[in-house]
Amino acid sequence: MEHKSQAELLGVSQNGRNHHRPHRVVITGMGLVGPLGNDVQSSWQALLAAKSGCAPITLYDRSQTDVQIACEVKDFDPAAHFGPRDARRLDRCAQFALVATKEALQDAGLVLHDDNTYDVGVVLGSGIGGISTLTAEHAVMLQKGPKRVSPFAVPMMLPDTATGQVAMHFGIRGPNYCVVSACASGTNAIGEAFELLRAGRARAVVTGGTEAPINAFSIAAFNNMGALSTYNDDPEGASRPFDATRNGFVCGEGAGVLVLETLEHAQERGARIHAEVLGYGVTADAHHITAPDVKGPAMAMRAALAQAGLSPSQIDYLNAHGTSTPLNDSNETRAIKTAFGEAAYDLHISSTKSMTGHLLGAAGALEAIICVLSIRDGVILPTINYHNPDAECDLNYTPNSVIRKPVRVAMSNSFGFGGHNGCLVIGQFTE
C-alpha cells in the first residue's frame, strides 16, 4: 500500500515537494525503565500478571502533600549505572533515558561506529524534563543564596538534556532534538522519528520518551488543579480508568525507548524486526489548555488510520490514553466513537495506566512498546480496577483480565495538556 503524508491525507498543499515513495519504518529495539520493572521483560511479565505499580511515595517526605501515592521506578541505583560522580550530574529524567536506550540498542543489535554515526538520530519526548533538579536548586538558592546554585543545574534541568546525553554516551551524530508536548510527547517523538525515516533523512532513530516528575512541587501542582487521584488508602486501586468512581490520574515516572529503522537499513544488517510503524496522526484541539475536545483526538485517529491505509475494523487493539480523570476518559470514549463509528463497539480497548500510572511525556513511548509486545504475543492487556460501569464510557475496556487473541494491528493514543493529540498505528511486520 502507498503511504501518504498527513498533510496530503487532509488536503494540505505540498507545492514543490518530491513525491517519492516513502520508506517503510520498522521497530528493531526496545528498552524500558518503569514502575513495574527496569527492563522490558520484567515490566511485561508484571503487566501480564495485571499488577499495579502504585505505592506510597518514597522519593520525598510525602506528608508534605495531600496526595501520597505514585508509580515510582523501584530498585533503581543510578550509581550502579553511571558511577557516583556522573550520577550526581544527571537528572533522574536523563538517567532513565540512558538506561532504556542501552537496552534498546542492545535489543536492536545496532552498533555505532564512524561509518554510520551520522545516519542515526535521537528524538525523545519529555513533558517537563529535569523538574526535580529545578525545584531542588531553587530551594538551595532560597536557603543558601544564589552563589550556591549548582553549575550543573541548567544542563540537568533542560527538557532536551536526555537527547544530548544519549547522543554523547552512544556516539550518535544524526538528527537530534526533544519533543515537548505534555503527555503526548513520547507519542509525538516516535511519530516525528517515523517521519524522518520515511523521508530518508536518517536510517535509524533512537526515539521514545522519558520523565521523572515525582517531587513535592509537581505533585502539589497537579493536585491543586484537580488532576490527581486522592485514593491514598488504596494505592493499587487508585488508577481506575473508565470506572465510574475514577477521580484522577496517578503520577508515574520512567522511560520507554525504541529503535526505529528504515526497512532497507534493518534488512541490510540482518536485524530482527519486532513490528512496523504504519501510521501517525497529530492534531491540536485549539480549544482549552486542559479541558479535552472530541474532534481533535478523533481527527488524529482518523489521520493515523488513513496514513496506514486501514479501516477502523482492522484495528485489533487500542491502547487508550485513559488517564483515570473524569473528563479525559469520557471524552476519549466519545472521540473513539467519532473516529471508529460502529466499529468502536467491537474494538478491544484498554488503559494500561491502570497498572503503570501516567508517565506524562514518557507514557506514549511505554504504551507503544506495549502495543509491540501485544502484537508479538497475541495479548490484550486489561484495564484493572474497573468495577463500576460509567454510562458515558460504554465501550469494551477489557476489564481486569488479560485476553489471549491474535493482534495484527494496534493503535496507541496520547493526548496532552495544551490540546496536543498524537496517535500511532503499529502492525505486524510482513514482507
Residue 305 main-chain phi, psi, to 5 deg: -60, -45
Which residues are bridge partners to 123 per DSSP?
177, 207
Q: How far is CA 369 from CA 81, 170, 187, 365, 407, in A?
A: 23, 21, 11, 6, 14
CA distance 266 to 4: 22
Active-site entry in 265, 274, 358, 420: 358
- Per annotation, catalytic residue among 71, 93, 178, 183: 183
Asked about 393 being catalytic, the answer comes back as: no
Taking each helix axis from N to C terminus, what angle separates 131-144 and 216-224, rounded to the nearest 10 degrees? 110
Residue 163: all three cell numbers together: 537527547
Residue 80 main-chain phi, psi, to 5 deg: -70, -25
Of 3, 23, 265, 321, the catalytic one is 321
Active site residue 20: no
Q: For the chain, what's the residue count?
A: 431
Using the 8-state DSSP alphabet, how is residue 235 labeled?
Answer: G
Alpha-carbon gap, residue 407 to 275, rounded angstroms: 11
Closest CA to 343 of 316, 322, 303, 309: 316
Cell (9 digits) for 364: 506514549
Instruction: Clarify whether 178 is annotated catalytic.
Output: no
Catalytic positions are 183, 321, 358
